[in-house]
Structure 1
């Protein structure tokens, strides 16, 4: 998900203190259980009553501290004590799923040096073997030189090894027809579609409503999220296939969060909202005050400290 612009939500469709509780306090229907959960008090408490667990999700891993969407980033999230991570999935020329936010490799790898004649360096124009040659760490910090773009298989295996959980974003599905089926196939092969993983460790989201619908149609047991800020009047339509409405933090209000919680999703439970991308204390407290179910952040430690203040 793009951390730098609220405009993406429109294109897609369509401060309070907290009491830190043990992770075991999270209700079964919460989107995730972070290292710290929180129960809101004061304004927003009516919203919080819908679900009293505030989930903290490390955006593209702990991407303020390690190169985004790499194994190093999810390892850093684990080091900081965070269970839930978020990633982005795209597809290579030969059909491999890889972890990459942009549809171009140029921003976060050295592809321009390795393959100088292949502009604009689109993910879909490179094979998995070619992408595996690229350095995905040096752009961020020289100490990460040699970090690679993981395949989805490699990523899922690391998340499992780390005892972490995943909010998986299907990125730009319009570029990759059938990517939902491909994603589910990898999840199945890596053991992520059994009852325990589906119920407790996995959310699949996208800015593409049709992509979310496709995942729900193929695996209605999986929790799904739509990325955007649909009009309140349109929420019932989204509630037919999405368990979450995951909105940019700059586009939401307490009333909007209440409107989301007033709807019941495809599994018969109140809709949830994870808001993104919140990297500072003031906006973390603001979002928590609205009663959101979770916060997606590049700086999960900053958010944790803010909502525990």
Structure 2
């Protein structure tokens, strides 16, 4: 009976870096596209500028996702945190995806929160590379403290010390520990609120152990139909995916089919 209930419940669908199949990743356009699709949450990555502002960027550098090489020759592969607010704010994060997105800026965490506030869509914030950015966790905590009311926010990171620090600064924000494979004893991670492994490492027995330890499980990054359905069958609470429309369609069909039986 428990397995049947778990299978029928639809996991939350989390758009990885926004709906970046249709808009530039980690931009407000990708956030808006994810909201339009009907996702439960949007996942973004945050790093710090030299001025200490959390900005939404995945890579350690700005080279892949912006026109930094054109604007700052010789600095394209410098770390994100070596650029000022003004320098990052002038970059184009959209032209690489076509003229329709030309001029799309690199957003700040504050702007991402503003974009979601009236939508009812949650935000999953990954704290990237905090070991090289000692001011990042404090800056994220400050922005969330001031600007997150009205948005359901969860923070995640592969870096457990950063999550522990965030918990001291902002204990009311749930935290998810990203892992490459499932910890054998999820109860050892019960200081967090969720344990978020690679989707291929998860099965129903593990999810149940995590639940017994008081932890939710959000898997990353399940894109293939078989991977999405396997994660749902395991009973995970959430699926982080690059294909949110596909995930929603598959999971809604599964729930509708179960309800008609």
TM > 0.5 fold call = yes
Number of residue equivalences? 252
CA drift at 1:64: 1.2
Which residue of 239, 246, 261 corresponds with 1:295? Answer: 239
Matched, 1:223 2:174: yes
Matched, 1:274 2:224: no
CA drift at 1:53: 4.8
Counterpart secondary structure, 1:245 = strand
Matched, 1:232 2:179: no
Between the aligned partners of 2:161 and 2:182, the Cα distance in structure 1 is: 14
Query: What pairs with 1:125-144 in structure 2 (closer than 5 Å)?
Result: 125-144=82-101
Q: Give unmatched runs, 5+ long, in structure 1.
A: 1-40, 265-270
Matched, 1:121 2:121: no
Q: Is the 8 A contact 2:67 2:92 kept in 1?
A: yes
Q: Is the 8 A contact 2:62 2:76 kept in 1?
A: no
2:125: which partner in 1? 168
Counterpart secondary structure, 2:87 = helix
Q: TM-score, normalised by structure 2?
A: 0.90
Matched, 1:251 2:195: no
Q: Give unmatched runs, 5+ long, in structure 2.
A: 254-261
CA drift at 1:159: 1.6
1:34: which partner in 2? none
CA drift at 1:189: 2.0
Runs of 4+ in structure 1 deviating by more than 3 angstroms, as ranges, are: none
Q: Is the 8 A contact 1:45 1:289 kept in 2?
A: no
CA drift at 1:68: 0.6
Which residue of 98, 101, 104 corresponds with 2:55? Answer: 98
What are the superposed Cα offsets for residues 268-300 of structure 1, whole Å, 9 maximum, x if unpaired?
Answer: xxx110111112221111110111111111211
Counterpart secondary structure, 1:67 = coil
Q: TM-score, normalised by structure 1?
A: 0.76
| Distance change >3 Å, CA 142–CA 250, structure 1 → 2 | farther
Counterpart secondary structure, 1:232 = coil
Which residue of 191, 213, 220 corresponds with 2:164? Answer: 213
Counterpart secondary structure, 1:86 = strand
